[in-house]
Amino acid sequence: MSSVITRSKIVSAIVEEKVKNPSVKLKIQDICAIVEISRQSFNRYYSDLKPYMKGEKPISELIEGEDEISSNQLLCTYQSKIIELESKLHNIEGEHIKEVANIKNSITTSLMNNDLTLYDADAVRLQLQKQSLHNDKLLNKINTLQTELSKQHIKQNIEPVITLSSANFEVLEDNFELIFRNYIDKVDIDTFEDEKDNEIDHIITKLNKISANRKVITILFMERYLCSFKKFVERYVFDSETFHLFTRLPIHSRSELKLILKRLSCQLEIKIYIPYSESEAITKTQRQFFFKNVPELELQAADKSFIPSVQDGFDTVCQYRINQGD
């Protein structure tokens, strides 16, 4: 795909999303997912479009010269949006009229019966309040006990940290936790994405350097923030004496995976492992215990991760279910 066609698609996506939600700041990762390119490619060749995504420049400047984005098309879109909003407003007004009428009827009935039922109503109300407070205390106690039980279960299953290098394998260290903390402090998504891309570049470079002139099995752990990477390495079953190289990668789109595979040495045997959880309760507990500093936008991206297959270029693809404490 030529850069001109790609740029036109990006511009079309930006205009379409801005028309749908004018006040929303677009994310690079969302536009890249629509156009099916990587963030690295966007930042390298199309970074001049960021001000239009942020709302710093009007999208009318983008429309000029774009044959595929016609004024009639935008007018139709805006008209559809206006019709939709008018319909919602009409429904809200109708509901409001009904609610006002119901409230008036309710107030009239209450005033007529108030003198007769005041004493009994107060007694019932007090009793219900007492029961509600008691139920709340019991629920809080149950939730506290369940949380403590989950933490104890996790602590009991935590084993000593593995040695990061040995005769049979090596684990590449990364700085993703530092990047996550920097984002929480600054809340700058562009800086966050750039730092994350740079760290992934550093890991790929190191992978190729270590595997040069030797036979290596590369184990890619697809970080979805569901379980401990260190425990995954500790429990990994080696099926050969070949040197194993472990690394985790918080990548969530197909385009990013393809770009990484292209950059890895063709001599490598590449296996990718993807953790999976069906339980929202287990996911929540695991993230509270292991991933407190991971930004919410990163967790959301992980929940929508693309699940690869061997057709995407991997020698082995393994998706496995996690248990609480993993």
Say what the pLDDT of residue 187 is.
85
Cα of first residue to Cα of last residue in the chain, in angstroms, is 42
CA distance 206 to 220: 13
User: Which pTM does this prediction carry?
Assistant: 0.54
93 falls within a domain = no
40 falls within a domain = yes
What are the two backbone dihedrals, phi and then psi, of residue 316, each rounded to the nearest 5 degrees? -140, 135
Q: pLDDT, tens digit, for every residue of 150-177?
A: 666 655 554 443 343 445 899 998 999 9
106 falls within a domain = no
Q: Which of 47, 69, 91 is the last residue of a domain?
A: 69
Residues 65 and 176 in one domain: no
96 falls within a domain = no
Computed on alpha carbons and rounded to an integer, the radius of gyration of the chain in Å comes to 28
Helix (H, G, I), strand (E, B) or coil at 129: helix
98 C-beta neighbours (distance < 10 Å), count: 10
CA torsion 259-202-172-322 (nearest 10°) is: -40
- Widest Cα–Cα separation across the chain: 93
Give how many domains the chain has, as a whole number.
2
Pair 174, 248: CB distance under 8 Å: yes
CA distance 308 to 1: 22
Q: Which domain holds residue 295?
A: 169-321
140 falls within a domain = no
The two beta strands, 216-222 and 269-276, are parallel
264 falls within a domain = yes
Residues 312 and 190 in one domain: yes
Say what the pLDDT of residue 117 is.
67
188 falls within a domain = yes
Residue type, 211: S
283 C-beta neighbours (distance < 10 Å), count: 19
CA distance 156 to 283: 18
105 falls within a domain = no
**CATH of residue 251:** 3.40.50
What are the two backbone dihedrals, phi and then psi, of residue 189, each rounded to the nearest 5 degrees? -65, -35
Say what the pLDDT of residue 162 is.
39
Say what the pLDDT of residue 81 is.
66
Q: Which of 46, 69, 92 is the last residue of a domain?
A: 69
Q: Which of 54, 69, 84 is the last residue of a domain?
A: 69
Q: pLDDT, tens digit, for every residue of 96-124?
A: 888 888 887 777 666 666 666 677 777 78
| Two tokens, residue 129 | 């309040």
Name the helix (H) or strand (E) containing 249: strand 243-249
CA torsion 239-282-296-45 (nearest 10°) is: 30
Residues 176 and 65 in one domain: no
Residues 60 and 175 in one domain: no
CA distance 6 to 36: 9
Say what the pLDDT of residue 1 is.
59
User: Which residues of the chain fall short of a pLDDT of 50?
Assistant: 158-166
